[in-house]
Structure 1
Amino acid sequence: MHRRAGLEKPSRVFDRDSEWGALTAFVNRPLPHAMLGVVSGRRRMGKTYLLRALVEQCGGFYFGATAGTETESLRQFSAALAEYTGSPAAFAFGNWDDAISYLFGLASPGSGKGPDGPLLVVIDEFPYLTKVAPELPSLIQRTIDRFQVDESRLRLLLCGSAMSVMGGLLASTAPLRGRAQLELVVRPFGYRPAADFWDVADEPGLAARLHAVVGGTPAYRRQFLADDVPAGLEDFDDWVCRTVLSPYSPLFREARYLLAEEADIRDTALYHSVLAAVAQGNTTRGGIAGYIGRKSVDISHPLNVLEDSHLLEREADIFRAGKSQYRITEPLINFYEAVMRPAWARLESGQATEVWAQSAERFAAQVAGPHFEAMCREYVLGPGRSLLGSALGEVGTGVVTDPKERRQIQIDVAVIERGSGGDRPAVTLLGEAKWGTVMGRAHLERLARARDLLAGRGMDTTRCGLACFSAAGFSEALRGEAERIGVLLVGLDELYGRGVPTGGLAG
């Protein structure tokens, strides 16, 4: 029960330095009253692993809830608390009000029941408890308010994977609104840390393909695949067939489970249809509605639920107010909807090799291509930020309409500084990203045309640089033009930090 002196992150916890820093700052904040934190994130992100490591370092109390009745859940909580405090007899709380009051009392000075310093308490999978005891958030709110007067150094972390439930704990009129001092979302690893985690950082081509399939979810490597990692790029196809596409692999049905686990999702068929529409390239609200045979107004709820569940993201068009597109944020779900679901019966019958051989074009167009574009935007937000030579603005994607040519120019990577007061918005970067195409001068000319069109619309393009991102390489003509006029060329080696972007930027 005694709190350990050191709070250094254990070496077994990969990455997560910023999350660890936020958690330890929360625990060690020298305030005499109780504090509340909410930790959320989709399943398989390593939340429990991270919080258990924190509890071990702090000597705190950890309780992992399970699905059960209210009576059983209270009994399990009481038994775990009795064991933690070293009570010779089991606790028999009559209700959750008594249990929560006792818990906060453990951290009261002079109680003799808890440590002298802050006491960390983690209640994991909290949505299981609120499902059978919906009054719990109100009870915690009332007790926290009480211990703003009566001293208690409790540091309570509520954790859960049901994103819609956890997000609702602190929303609008929710009881705990305004009570939390920490709100932490544990997200997947970015594409660079994920490559290090899978030990494939020295092969950018493999790392990019792997990330397009399984993303940055840490549990997939160790818990799901028992460290089955592709031996190299030449092994990737076999790896896909023996893992994700194999009916005997835990990853085979994982995309379905991810959707079914969200508390607010009832009609999974409708939600799969929405996701399939996006995976097939129907990324606008109207396009999604048309694909599934519904009216646009009828799909507002499933779109909102998928956004709240962090499975779908609405990306505003950076050039056109009121326009937006949807993107699936979980790579495994996108891979499932684009590659697996259309051939599900064949995959269940063991035809993984045949299905995968026939999916090359679909994988490139619907999975790897859009994922590569998102990686390029992540690069500009992070490692490539220093290349811009100016303050980082808003990074996004959008469409520039060319009325003369009667076409639309898709900009995959754009940076805009909105300015202040009467300043015009400044476009500082326009970029195009191609997964399977060797980029040439035509791509550069399209970007230059988009820059001229934006200048004609009143945007400041005097410092606007052009960038080409390609996983397949660049033509010699484009390389020569890039050196001559100053265009940024970024390939996979540069994205993964194994090379320096060539060409440079010139407005």
Structure 2
Amino acid sequence: MSRQKFIDRKRELEFLERAYSSNRAEFLVIYGRRRIGKTELLLHFARDKPHVYFLATEKPYRDNLRELQGLLAEFLGDRLFGKIAFEDVDELLMAFAERIGDERVILIIDEFPLLVEHHHPVLSLLQKAWDLKLSGTKIMLILCGSSVSAMENEVLAYKSPLYGRRTGQWRLTEIPFFHIGEFLPGYTAEELVKVWGITGGIPAYLLQFSPEKSFNENVVERVLSKGAFLYEEAEFLLREELREPANYFAILQAIASGRSRFGEIVNATGLDKSLVSKYLSVLQRLEIVKREVPVTATLKEAGKRGLYSIVDNYFAFWFRYVLPNKSHLEAGLAEEVWGRSMDDFNTYMGPVFEGLVKRPEVFFALTGFHFTKLGRWWRKGEEIDLVALNEREKKALFIEVKWKDLSKREARGILRDLKHKSEHVGLETWEKYYGLIAKNIKGKGVIKSEGWLMWDLEDFEGCLKDNFQSCRA
């Protein structure tokens, strides 16, 4: 997962280790989008334990079965086991379980959806093997997959033959922001935030950026240049995961161009409302798009006031800077395209920075404010970037987030406006606090002495050094 060492995944490894130490049969489902680091996680976990790792491929089912059989025979040190003519995967796995007896063995089947795609009965056959034999052993069976929709619909869903058999599941998400400095040692906090704005916390994407090159060089060479890994990755992912990629492209293009309301997306795409609703639901499930409502909205209000945005930073960047400039990029004009895009990139980084500090782990590590709700607020032309509510203690923290350098005068003006806007939120009897998060705030100490709260990239720099563990000290 990294150039020299395995980075983070502490919680995921603890989950796997707990299951391994149970000393009973375990049936785990591990899934998440491509490039998120599932295989690296599982191999790192299993590296010093008896295990068999099998990667399913696009080959026919029988060829995959024979390959799995060969790996199991190799693990057993039994060449004769590799020559038995097993009819199906259930027979193979039950025979393997018979051979290992009470031994604790990890069996990882990676890209399991490919087996299902080529031979759908594999779900029922695996259920049979688990029910008749595997569940009574000490095997640790792990099914892994990159197709989120297939794993959720075919493996985890109520109608799946495997429903009720799993003993645990984990959907891998991005590496936390405060670990990405380990991929790019020497990068400043500002540079790391900008890298985050392009790659998010996807390990494979972070590995594309070289710590020996500047941020701008990495963008030009690793994202905008034809042939680069990240140049066509968005198209590849959408075509792999979705059946009608053209319609999803249209929706993502509409959102990337500023259409955030449902009606605006429908008008921009020309698609039927029911189809747009369906596609948006899929994109939300894949965590590419998010629907946000005001943090104080009631259930009734939430149904009417939602705004859509692309929350996957790679997709947001790609649809804003790669797709619209494809003709020039294909012609080898990556440097020229990026040169023209730099001013707009600062505008793009505004909501990216806001989204970063809105992440619960980052927000709490930075501010120390205990909250039960966290999000944006807007109503009738008024908007507050971040509102944290502690409903138990009736406390509220209002924050504006700015991706810019601020003078003392600008900072004070923003804070005064924030206090005025907060009066429209309600919460009259609550204890209220007001803060500002920006790239750089001149005279930060003086303004804080006046009772305001504030943080800038200097605070992020300190946090990054300790992976956000002691950044409020």
- Taking structure 1 as the reference length, the TM-score comes to 0.82
Cα pair 1:414 1:429 within 8 Å, conserved = yes
Match of 1:25 among 18, 22, 26: 18
Q: Secondary structure at the match of 2:167?
A: strand
Cα pair 1:246 1:252 within 8 Å, conserved = yes
2:230 aligns with 251
1:415 aligns with 388
User: How much has 1:385 moved relative to structure 2?
Assistant: 4.5
| % identical equivalent positions | 26
Work out the CA distance in 1 between the residues paired with 2:340 and 2:429: 44
Gaps of 5+ in 2: none
User: How much has 1:498 moved relative to structure 2?
Assistant: 5.0
User: How much has 1:64 moved relative to structure 2?
Assistant: 0.8
| 1:74–1:198 Cα change, 3 Å | same
Alignment of 1:264-413 (within 5 A): 265-321=242-298, 322=302, 323-366=305-348, 368-378=349-359, 381-382=361-362, 384-385=364-365, 387-388=367-368, 391-399=370-378, 401=379, 407-413=380-386
Work out the CA distance in 2 between the residues paired with 1:361 and 1:351: 18
| 1:177–1:464 Cα change, 3 Å | farther
Alignment of 1:476-495 (within 5 A): 476=443, 480-484=446-450, 486-495=451-460
User: How much has 1:301 moved relative to structure 2?
Assistant: 1.8
Matched, 1:156 2:141: yes
Alignment of 1:1-400 (within 5 A): 12-31=5-24, 34-89=25-80, 90=82, 91-103=84-96, 105-106=97-98, 113-114=99-100, 116-147=102-133, 151-168=136-153, 169-200=155-186, 203-222=188-207, 225=208, 228-229=210-211, 231=213, 235-262=214-241, 265-321=242-298, 322=302, 323-366=305-348, 368-378=349-359, 381-382=361-362, 384-385=364-365, 387-388=367-368, 391-399=370-378
| 1:386–1:44 Cα change, 3 Å | closer
User: How much has 1:28 moved relative to structure 2?
Assistant: 1.3
1:274-314 C-alpha deviation (Å, 9 max, x unpaired)? 11222222223223222222343330221122222232233
Work out the CA distance in 1 between the residues paired with 2:464 and 2:57: 48
Work out the CA distance in 2 between the residues paired with 1:82 and 1:388: 54
Query: Which one-letter code corresponds to 2:449 in the other structure?
Result: E
1:224-266 C-alpha deviation (Å, 9 max, x unpaired)? x3x62354xxx3223211221111322211121121221xx12
Work out the CA distance in 2 between the residues paired with 1:246 and 1:178: 47
Of stretches 323-332 and 241-250 in structure 1, the one that deviates more from structure 2 is 323-332
Work out the CA distance in 2 between the residues paired with 1:373 and 1:359: 20
Work out the CA distance in 2 between the residues paired with 1:85 and 1:254: 39
Cα pair 2:356 2:362 within 8 Å, conserved = no
Q: How many residue pairs are counted as aligned between the two chains?
A: 453
| 1:209–1:343 Cα change, 3 Å | same
Cα pair 2:54 2:71 within 8 Å, conserved = yes
Cα pair 1:230 1:239 within 8 Å, conserved = no
- Taking structure 2 as the reference length, the TM-score comes to 0.88
Query: Which one-letter code corresponds to 2:435 in the other structure?
Result: A
Q: Secondary structure at the match of 1:57?
A: coil
Of stretches 492-501 and 271-280 in structure 1, the one that deviates more from structure 2 is 492-501
Larger relative contact order, structure 1 or 2 (CA cutoff 8 Å, min sep 6): 2
Q: Secondary structure at the match of 2:462?
A: coil
User: How much has 1:116 moved relative to structure 2?
Assistant: 3.6
Aligned alpha-carbon RMSD (Å): 2.6
Work out the CA distance in 2 between the residues paired with 1:78 and 1:147: 17
Work out the CA distance in 1 between the residues paired with 2:382 and 2:445: 22
1:345-391 C-alpha deviation (Å, 9 max, x unpaired)? 1001011111111112332223x12110111112x5346347445x4
Work out the CA distance in 2 between the residues paired with 1:382 and 1:213: 18
Cα pair 1:200 1:207 within 8 Å, conserved = no
Q: Which runs of 4+ in 1 moved over 6 A?
A: none
Work out the CA distance in 2 between the residues paired with 1:190 and 1:384: 13
Match of 1:474 among 441, 448, 470: 441
Cα pair 2:389 2:397 within 8 Å, conserved = yes
Cα pair 2:295 2:376 within 8 Å, conserved = yes
Work out the CA distance in 2 between the residues paired with 1:499 and 1:480: 24
Report the structure, 1 or 2, having the larger helix content.
2
Q: Secondary structure at the match of 1:464?
A: strand
Work out the CA distance in 1 between the residues paired with 2:37 and 2:229: 17
Query: Which one-letter code corresponds to 1:236 in the other structure?
Result: F
| 1:446–1:180 Cα change, 3 Å | farther
Match of 1:451 among 422, 425, 428: 422
Work out the CA distance in 2 between the residues paired with 1:495 and 1:115: 52
| 1:299–1:230 Cα change, 3 Å | farther
Work out the CA distance in 2 between the residues paired with 1:461 and 1:289: 41
Cα pair 1:338 1:363 within 8 Å, conserved = no
Work out the CA distance in 1 between the residues paired with 2:376 and 2:136: 50
2:401 aligns with 433
Work out the CA distance in 1 between the residues paired with 2:314 and 2:51: 35
Gaps of 5+ in 1: 1-10, 107-112, 402-406, 420-424
Cα pair 1:427 1:460 within 8 Å, conserved = no
Cα pair 1:482 1:488 within 8 Å, conserved = yes
